[in-house]
Chain A
Amino acid sequence: MVTRLKEVDVVIVGLGWTGGILSKELAEAGLKVVALERGSMRSTEKDYSLPNIRDELRYVVRHDLMQNTARDTITVRNNPSQEALPMRRLGSFLPGEVVGGSAVHWSGHTWRWTDMEFKVRSNYEERYGKNFIPADMTIQDWGISYDELEPYYDRFEYTAAISGKAGNIKGEIKPGGNPFEAPRARDYPLPPLTAILASEMFTAAAKNAGYHPFPRPSANASRAYTNPDGAKFGACQYCGYCQRFGCEANAKGSPHITVIPIALKNPNFELRTHSWVTKVLKDSDGKKVTGVAYTNILNGEEFEQPASVVLLCAYAINNVHLMLLSGIGQPYDPVAQTGVVGKNYCYQTGVGATLFFEGRHFNPFMNAGGSNATIDDFNINWNFDRGPHNFVGAYNVSGGFNTVLPIGYRPVPSGTPQWGKAWKAATAKWYQTAMTIAASGSVMANRYNCYDLDPTYRNAFGQPLMRMTFDYRPNEHRMGEHAAKVVNDIAKSMNPTRLNQATARTQPWTVVPYQSTHNTGGTIMGTNPRDSAVNKYLQSWDCHNLFVVGANVFPHNASYNPTGPVGALAYWTADAIKRYVKSPGPLVAA
């Protein structure tokens, strides 16, 4: 028995950053909005508070804030000739499953992606010719420009309390910032965090090598802050419990302390937690969607929520899954290269070195998401000539720490025994005296890296799991070799006592260990319905009252963390929907 509810203006599936931003914006625009979130409500006061939030086992190892793979997961394989098998527990990436989504447990790294990405095919073809891009590399321009997004990046940065140092304000290069960034209208809302020792040492070495280090911009408020909506932030305490934890100090820009509580105060907005959306419903001719079907997972009750506009704002993987389950858009076929839904799944890659300095005290447990320093000389610097190195894409390099709690982080020089007295002595000696330098690299789209529905395995609702087919290509391996050399050269110039060198990845992608929660693509944006699922306003080409919001619209993956453009595109889409509801129809002619 399915209960059909009263129609609302907008139904939003998933309440993280994108759902939160759109809930607030559209409720304020006078629309009746219902958000359906499969997770539960958790708050800083009750859940992310001292002392219980300081629990590495619960939050990092046992994934307390993450998607429960017993109920729903994906199947994985490296290539189409393999049989995909279920990811039986989380590993490589960690989608969140609470009100606030993955934006509760993120570190806060926030970047502006530029026309380097948005015009990727044009850029490389223009400079290196069409043959430079491998035939199976299905990269394409995004159909949007940096100039269009700039005001929305600004909006997101001021909402999420980004601490950083501008490198380029209206074309003027600012010392201490990132000289390669695209022009911004104004500086970040907050100054950078205090640099930790590892960051200072990396900065000095990078400068000596002729590079351009700068403090990594991050949603960790460097001092108390009130955002333009009136949401209040505490100052970052450098507690070291950033990534995978909710922030006890309310210093991390997250939707559950900003846009969501504001939306909840608005009588136009209603949140229903424990609500699992199983399908987007279409009208009889398939030209529009009519709402969603969902289950209350507290008691199994099933509902239909009709709505004039449907927004998919779940985690990037789950948005694509819902599109495939609902039969919206043509599924992508990597052999025939037809269809669009599931196309251009991308991930990221990286290399890292560990440096050991006898006698130094890094105090690695004092850090924040943004306490590292970064160089973009091999990233958004178009003067870096990829030609001789024969790869498309880029990487950034950072020095410092990310979540270095003791179950997961106990660096020792290569060759140290894994147990016994020698292991103990080395663990005791080097924990305090090690730092890391790591490169994070882009992954270009490939025709065989994609999603579809698994033919065998099912979720708790009896629906097919999503199947992910993914591996790195020679392009990424060549970039990895270049990155490893740059990382090792910087590391060696610092004269560490011992060095675990960075090595380029050559092995296939694996579901363990953790790598990054930056899964992109599947319902990509573009200029026409032949090669994209949504237009530049993230509006479905097939059903004009459906918008699909998240990193699932990225046609490829850059080296940067995705949340900057994800947040900016959510604000951009909110403005588009405000126009759309006055005169519903395609916002871009097909």
Chain B
Amino acid sequence: MTDGFGRRDFLKGAVAGGVAATAPTTAAQAQAQPQPATTATPPGYAFFNLDEAAFVEALVDHMVPADDLSPKGTDVGINTYIDRALSGAWGKGDRLYMQGPWKQGTPSQGYQLPLTPAQLYRAGIEATNAHCRKAYGKTFDRLSSEQREEVLIGLSTAKIAFDGGVPVRVFWSTLYQTVMEGMFSDPIYGGNRNKAGWKLIGFPGAIAVHRENIEKYKDKKFPADAPLGISDMS
């Protein structure tokens, strides 16, 4: 959805026009028709607003494009994974020491922002879109593939700086880590749909025993066409 009248416009229009009750009520439902047969997690967003959903969908489809090796990021459910992670305990700062005073510290001292992961994500998306509007005149989800690539390189190398906002390195490392989690964590969390991430690398999943396999498959390919996840064994 890079150009023209997008889903967001449709939904915003729908709400403004007072037909929300009959229109699809969430962003994902609006595009939900071609769902894979075995979706562990129901569609819909628990955290992202429309702008954030558009950003993350564009991001994960750019980082994980469709080819022979895997479907694209949204078809793997990476956007759903990230949404669930941010709306859940981790996103709300579970296990995070949140007492001040707040100082920037040195890189050695690790994460020092007064933000939960969800707040960091929200602020980072807003700042990235602000950068995109300034540099290209539109938000990230409406950029061309080349422009998106330019933005991601800028984020990952910290060539882009956010004025007075969150440190770009901290935002990028969180963004990147969550995309990888959505690609490679167990499908019960909403990503890695149909074990696409595990199939990509030949990871067999939650195999109970390899005792016999150590010798049997020494220097031989272990069959991992149908990896097992937690829900397959529950």
Contacts and interface: CB of A to CB of B under 8 A. Distances in A.
A371 B233 CA distance: 27
A496 interface: no
B210 A240 contact: yes
A194 B214 contact: yes
B164 interface: no
A89 B95 contact: yes
B35 interface: no
B213 A238 contact: yes
Given A77-B106, A424-B69, A458-B99, 19 more contacts: A50-B206, A57-B181, A57-B185, A57-B189, A85-B109, A89-B96, A89-B97, A89-B111, A236-B211, A237-B210, A362-B219, A363-B218, A365-B203, A365-B204, A366-B217, A406-B184, A406-B201, A425-B69, A512-B111
Nearest to B181: A407
A461 to B, nearest CB: 13
Interface of A: 50-52, 54-57, 61-63, 68-70, 73, 76-78, 82-91, 194, 196-197, 235-240, 248, 360-363, 365-366, 405-407, 410, 418-421, 423-425, 427-428, 431-432, 456-458, 508-512
Most buried by B among A61, A85, A512: A85
Contacts of A68: 95
A50 B219 contact: no
A366 B213 CA distance: 8
B190 to A, nearest CB: 11
A361 B205 contact: no
Given A365-B204, A406-B203, A86 B107 contact: no
B197 interface: yes
Contacts of B202: 428, 431-432
A434 to B, nearest CB: 11
Nearest to A87: B110
Contacts of B99: 86, 457-458
Most buried by B among A405, A406, A458, A510: A406
Interface string B147-169: 00100100010000000000000
Nearest to B215: A194
Interface of B is mostly: loop
Interface in B210-233: 210-211, 213-215, 217-222, 228-230, 232-233
Given A237-B211, A410-B201, A510-B108, A56 B67 contact: no
A428 B69 contact: yes
B69 A70 contact: no
A194 B234 CA distance: 30
Q: Interface residue tally of chain B, by bracket?
A: 35 or more
The 3 closest A-B pairs by CB, nearest first: A54-B206, A51-B233, A419-B63
B213 A63 contact: no
B67 A82 contact: no
Nearest to A430: B201
30 contacts: A55-B230, A56-B186, A61-B181, A63-B95, A69-B96, A78-B108, A83-B105, A85-B109, A89-B96, A197-B218, A237-B210, A237-B211, A238-B210, A239-B207, A360-B219, A361-B220, A361-B221, A363-B213, A366-B222, A406-B201, A410-B184, A419-B64, A419-B179, A424-B64, A428-B69, A428-B202, A431-B201, A508-B106, A509-B108, A510-B107
A86 B110 CA distance: 9
Most buried by B among A51, A405, A510: A51
B198 interface: yes
A550 to B, nearest CB: 23
B185 A56 contact: yes
Contacts of B64: 419, 424
B30 interface: no
Interface of B: 62-65, 67, 69-70, 90, 93-99, 101, 103, 105-112, 149, 152, 156, 176, 179-181, 184-186, 189, 197-198, 200-211, 213-215, 217-222, 228-230, 232-234
B192 to A, nearest CB: 9
Nearest to A410: B201
A235 to B, nearest CB: 7
A512 B173 CA distance: 12
Nearest to B205: A54
Contacts of A431: 201-203
A391 to B, nearest CB: 23
A356 to B, nearest CB: 14
Given A70-B98, A239-B209, A52 B181 contact: no
Nearest to A50: B208
Contacts of A427: 200-201
Most buried by A among B95, B198, B219: B95
A62 B108 contact: no
A83 B208 CA distance: 47
Contact of B97 (A50, A73, A196): A73
B201 A361 contact: no
Nearest to A456: B101
A50 B62 contact: no
A16 B50 CA distance: 48
A424 B67 contact: yes
B233 to A, nearest CB: 4
A432 B218 contact: no
B110 A83 contact: no
Contacts of B98: 70, 88
A78 to B, nearest CB: 6
Nearest to B117: A89
B110 A511 contact: yes
A418 B111 CA distance: 22
A421 B108 contact: no
Contact of B110 (A91, A238, A366): A91
Nearest to A72: B97
Given A57-B189, A361-B220, A424 B96 contact: no
A86 B97 contact: yes
A361 B189 CA distance: 29
